[in-house]
Amino acid sequence: MEHHLKVALAQIAPVWLDKTATTKKIENTIREAAKEKTELIVFGEALLPGYPFWLALTDGAKWDLKINKEIHAHYVRNSIQIEAGELDSICELAKEHKIAIYLGIMERAKNRGGHSLYASLVYVDEKGEIKSVHRKLQPTYDERLTWAPGDGNGLQVHPLKQFTVGGLNCWENWMPLPRTALYGQGENLHIAVWPGSEHNTKDITRFIARESRSYVISVSSLMKKEDFPKSTPHLDKILEQAPDVLANGGSCIAGPDGEWIIEPVLYKEELIYKTLDFNLVYEERQNFDPVGHYSRPDVTKLLVNRERQTTVEFED
């Protein structure tokens, strides 16, 4: 049925900072979701290969500290360069199973020199084609010690059956103008990805749904102390300060009326399934539409620069 969409929220932990093992885990999760005839699967922010938890545990802001340089180098080595085909196996699974995917990665962007990292949200359609790579506009607080700021190129939406899907990374979801950029393109299924924990998802998920009169899917990763691989550089120093649980999940779904469809799920590593009915979008837009009948573009209007930023342009 064109107005129904079966979604899966992949609340899983990475094999932290191991891109090969984490990729295999993602692939197995996609295969499992495909058995349930899932049409869209969503993974958390920076899941591949993991969130930079060490920054808060190793005096991450101290200037010229060798431990942070060495862990950062390990992080870069395990991040993803899309141009090198490092997402090809995931794209092939999307095509094989006719399943669309939103996946949070650490991107080592070739067009920015290939050494800096971007928290990117990748959309792969059901034909296995990468349709957008949204680099997080503004890394949050200590993330700025290891991530670079992105650009507006990935502020795009995509058709999926009768739905129009778009997504943002973590605290970008608190930024009114990027949200508006997606609303203005017809978004009615908003994807919000997070590194984990319900303190991020419990309020903003319902708020965006009520503001936009759209479905909102929030997907968080998990991370426990025992999830750090023994091969992690300076593991002993990281574990000295690490709490038992670093990310407790909090994946959830809110409907276009702003009410819970699935409340935040905590501590469980699992696939969470739900079938969404598009008709509820039309019902809730009857009395409020933030970029339609309840907007005043003659008074306020947003300008969006979607040019992919690069330091050097060549004319050969």
- The tokens describing 213, both together, are 């009169």
Q: Is 170 a catalytic residue?
A: yes
Handedness of CA 174, 273, 25, 81 (dihedral sign): negative
Asked if residue 104 lies in contact with residue 168, where contact means CB atoms within 8 angstroms, the answer is no
In whole angstroms, give the CA distance from residue 140 to residue 135: 13
Asked if residue 264 lies in contact with residue 9, where contact means CB atoms within 8 angstroms, the answer is no
Which of 117, 35, 127, 109 lies closest to 76, judged by CA? 117
List 107, 136, 172, 187, catalytic entry: 136
Residues linked to residue 107 through DSSP beta bridges, in sequence order? 80, 118
Handedness of CA 229, 235, 239, 243 (dihedral sign): negative
Q: What are phi and psi of 184, to 5 degrees?
A: -65, -20
Q: Is 252 a catalytic residue?
A: no
| Residue type for position 226 | E
List 19, 39, 45, 252, catalytic entry: 45
The gap from C-alpha 34 to its chain's centroid, in whole angstroms, comes to 20
The gap from C-alpha 131 to its chain's centroid, in whole angstroms, comes to 15
Element (H, E) at 71: helix 66-77
Identify the burial level of 281 via C-beta atoms within 10 angstroms of its C-beta, where 0-12 means exposed, 13-18 middle and 19 or more buried.
buried
Residues linked to residue 282 through DSSP beta bridges, in sequence order? none
Q: Is 91 a catalytic residue?
A: no
Q: What are phi and psi of 174, to 5 degrees?
A: -85, -5
Which of 103, 72, 108 lies closest to 221, judged by CA? 103
| Residue type for position 62 | K
**Cα-trace Rg, the chain:** 19
- The tokens describing 4, both together, are 């129904």
List 91, 170, 187, 252, catalytic entry: 170
The catalytic residues are 45, 136, 170
